[in-house]
Amino acid sequence: MKILLVDNEKAVRETLAKMVHNWSKDVHQVEEATGVKDGIEKITQFRPDIVLLDVEMDDGTGFDLLQQIPQPGFQLIFTTAHNEYAIQAFRYSAIDYLLKPVDPAELRQALERAITNINQQSMQQQMTILLQQIGGKTDTEKQIVLKDVDKTYFIKIRDILFCEAEGSYTKFYLSNAEPIFVSRNLRSYEEILAPAGFIRTHHSCLVNPTKIKIYDRKTDSGTLILEGGHSVPVSQRKKDFVIQFLENR
């Protein structure tokens, strides 16, 4: 196993290297790079299996580095100080990230996920979606990465009808495909999709408002009818918000 640590701070690289060695004695090589230029050279020469990549460095960003790696042959884990814009992009692309100072237990979990995914071929597409998000793609052009037990899906935001909570899982209903069941809760996807206009109509439902065709008032709080005939409940607590939203859109 070959792991590359890319960070402009020597103390951070040294701490990460110690954590990696403590995590597994099977790690054969750990190399370090100080920035974008050095990182690209090390990736080319060292050919790492996993890259831990800082977001902000002296000669550019981790995103600048990725734009110069057209065919990544490694799993990627970002390390970053709290940067909400970058974190939002990571969530869209389902690329792992760790907040600084890095917690050893979180690092171990991220490395184990990376090893599990090491033979998958989805990282290049995930990076493309990440860079599109960072580059300011319009909401209708954006994609989100969803993963179930067996597969990784690349879904256009505009194709999502609604998301439904099922315990700690979320079920995505799509306009052009079978539903996808994902092992993350609805709240986490609300944080990702709210900036794209999605609205919470019920504690168990997050809806793409562009797919709403009818607001049916037959029940006390009402029901939304979406494209394809899907019915989505409106809670009593959300009723006024939903009505005002629909009247003003």
129-140 per-position pLDDT tens digit:
888 887 766 555
Domain check: are 188 and 213 in the same one?
yes
Domain check: are 237 and 122 in the same one?
no
Among 74, 102, 134, the domain boundary falls at 134
Letter string b/e over residues 76-95, b meaning 16 or more CB atoms within 10 A of that residue's CB: bbbbbeeeeebbebbbbbbb
Write out pLDDT tens, residues 80-113.
987 777 888 898 898 999 999 999 999 999 999 9
- Residue 241 neighbours by CB distance under 10 Å: 14
* C-alpha of 72 from chain center: 18
Number of domains in the chain: 2
Domain check: are 14 and 129 in the same one?
yes
In this prediction, residue 140 carries a pLDDT of 56
Average pLDDT along the chain: 91
CATH classification at residue 151: 2.40.50.1020
pTM: 0.74
Contact 232, 201 (CB under 8 A): yes
Give the separation between CA 138 and CA 140, rounded to whole angstroms. 5
* C-alpha of 213 from chain center: 29
Write out pLDDT tens, residues 186-218.
999 999 899 889 999 999 999 999 999 999 988
Containing structural domain, residue 87: 2-134
The average pLDDT across 14-38 equals 91
* Burial of 17: CB neighbours in 10 Å, binned 0-12, 13-18, 19+: middle
The average pLDDT across 142-152 equals 88
Among 134, 156, 183, the domain boundary falls at 134
Among 101, 134, 167, the domain boundary falls at 134
Domain check: are 69 and 172 in the same one?
no
Domain check: are 119 and 157 in the same one?
no
Domain check: are 156 and 128 in the same one?
no
